[in-house]
Structures are given as C-alpha cells and as structure tokens.
Amino acid sequence: MSRLHLFDMDGTLIRGSSACLEIARELGLVAHFQALERDLSAGLIDAPGYAVAAYQKFESLSEAQVAAAFAGAPWLRGIREVWADIRERGEFCAVISLSPNFFVERLREWGAHEARASVFPRMPFAGAELDPSGILRPETKVRVAEELCARFGVPPQRCVAYGDSLSDAPLFATVPTAVAINADHHVNDLASHSYSGNDLREAYALVR
C-alpha cells in the first residue's frame, strides 16, 4: 500500500529560516521580518496577520528577487533525492506551507507531487488586495492532508509528516508517523522520530 509524505517548508526543508525571511534579505528588510516572526511565535499575531503585514512590504517584489531568495535559501541537502526515491517506490510527496504560494510552488520542480501554500496575488502585485481567507493556518494543514489523501488514494494511517514547530503540531497530532526535524518542543513530544542535522536523506531514513 502506498504512503503520502507531507513536508513542512519553513524551518524544516529550509533550516533556520523561512521563505519570507529569505525574501526579506533580497529587500533589505531582515530586521522587520525577524520582528514579525517573533510576534507570530509569541501569539501576538496569527498567520493571516503575518501574511498581511508581509504583503505590505512586498509591493515592489519581482520574480527575479523571488528566484534569488529561493536559490539562496539554506535548504537541507538531499531533498530532490528523497522525493525521487518516494516517486520510484510509487509513493507520494507534498509540501504544505503557510508561506506564499509564489515561493512554495517552485518545489514542484524539485519533485513534489503537490505544493499547497497561502494564496497571494500574482506578481507584479500592483496594488492588488490580499485575501486573508486564502492564507493557511496551522489547523488548515490537517484539512489539506485529508484532501491529498483522497486525491492520491492513500488512507490517513499511511501518512508521514515532517515538521519543526508549532505550525506543524495539529498535523503531527493526527498522523501515525511524524518526523521532527531540527524541531522545538511543540512537535518533539508529538513526533515518532526526531532528527537534527542538514540532510533530509538522514531524516527520511528513519521512516524508510
């Protein structure tokens, strides 16, 4: 029977950083976004609130800057190799992230079957409004996982989740197998496996 592997991106596939922080480096706004992330972690703002605040700073963002941020992010090693192995075994892999879709969807080119993320307007933004209803929340990951299970014909008990922090806790609490990657206490206690390091192949080996 096939399995569905569900990967978080910020802090998990990207170690110690996030899509918005990497974009902030291109825009010269790292300090501003670090403060936003602290507020998010402290519960002072929620995921839609973070997205709205981030979008206000993305007004002049270009495709070239997004591409540079993506290329320069501190990705774990071995992502393409892990996803190629999953595909070769007839299994499925997907990324579910609260980050902007214009960044996350680039991971399909690396071999992900699906990439689900917060929906932002198309670039160039040119004053387009951000719809907060399209922003993913931590609990939304569970619903997306259920949708992907139905799409790929995989029972929920055959899901494996990979994550690092509070945004992954709802999903970790619902799947039978979960790998905490460079994680904090929010998910370590919920995980069936734990990994600290820079290579996704080593984390993947724990459930292979």
Q: What is the pLDDT of residue 185?
A: 87
Task: For 122-162, write each residue's pLDDT tens digit.
Answer: 999 988 999 999 999 999 999 999 999 999 999 999 999 99
Q: Model confidence over 112-121: pLDDT tens digits?
A: 999 999 999 9
Give mean pLDDT, residues 82-89: 98
The CATH topology of domain 4-15+75-205 is: Rossmann fold (3.40.50)
Residue 9 one-letter amino acid:
M
Q: What is the pLDDT of residues 61-85, one digit of tens each?
A: 999 999 999 999 999 999 999 999 9
Quick one: pLDDT at residue 109?
98
* Mean pLDDT of the chain, nearest integer: 96
For 18-45, the pLDDT digits (tens) are 999 999 999 999 999 999 999 998 889 9
pTM of the entire predicted model: 0.96
pLDDT score, position 42: 87
Share of the chain above pLDDT 90, in %: 94
Per-residue pLDDT at 106 exceeds 90? yes
Chain Cα centroid distance, residue 6:
9
pLDDT of residue 186: 85
- Alpha carbon 96 to chain centroid distance? 5
Residue 1 has pLDDT above 90, yes or no: no
